[in-house]
Amino acid sequence: MLTHQTEVLVRFNEADPLGIVWHGHYIRYFEDGREGFGKRYGISYLDFYKNGLAVPIVSVHCDYKKPLRYGQSVIVETTYIDSHAAKLKFDYKIFQGNSKELVAVGTTTQVFVDVKNFQLQLTVPDFFMDWKKEVGFAK
């Protein structure tokens, strides 16, 4: 299992009038987690870009377990979920930084498209297949 933990600070302006982080910001925390993962394992947006690919999100899901408050930090645990499909799937667990309580879980699915014309890639691109081999998910 390939996983990475990224720490994210909750900004004052991310909490709403109830004092809790607005639910939409968790989608950004997922992206921060995915970015941290991508930098750590060599598949950031820029790595895809250099290989002529963009990886738009086609599905996102988030379940909220506990409220997050301003002044807290969060740890985003991002896990790559391997499959044979021409897709890129990550699971996320968001923990409150101090108490380590689980505050949210989620999933994103991305597809591979040609960065020039947004043409959907129906098979796993070579660049990504190479990456899968490197990290031990393909031979």
Does 58 contact a second copy by CB under 8 A?
yes
Classify the C-alpha dihedral 34-37-39-41 as positive or negative: negative
Q: How far apart are CB 11 and a second copy at their closest, in Å?
A: 7
Residue 64 is a binding residue for a second copy (CB under 8 A): yes
Q: List the one residue out of 115, 116, 111 whose CA is nearest residue 128.
A: 111
Based on the shown chain and the rule CB under 8 A, indicate whether residue 71 belongs to the binding site for a second copy. yes
Cα–Cα distance measured from residue 117 to residue 111, given in angstroms and rounded to the nearest whole number: 14
Alpha-helical segments (H) within 42-96: 45-50
Q: Considering beta carbons, is residue 12 or 100 the nearer one to a second copy?
A: 12
Interacting residue ranges for a second copy, rule: CB under 8 A: 9, 11-13, 15-20, 22-24, 27-28, 31-32, 35, 44-46, 54, 56-64, 67, 70-71, 115, 118
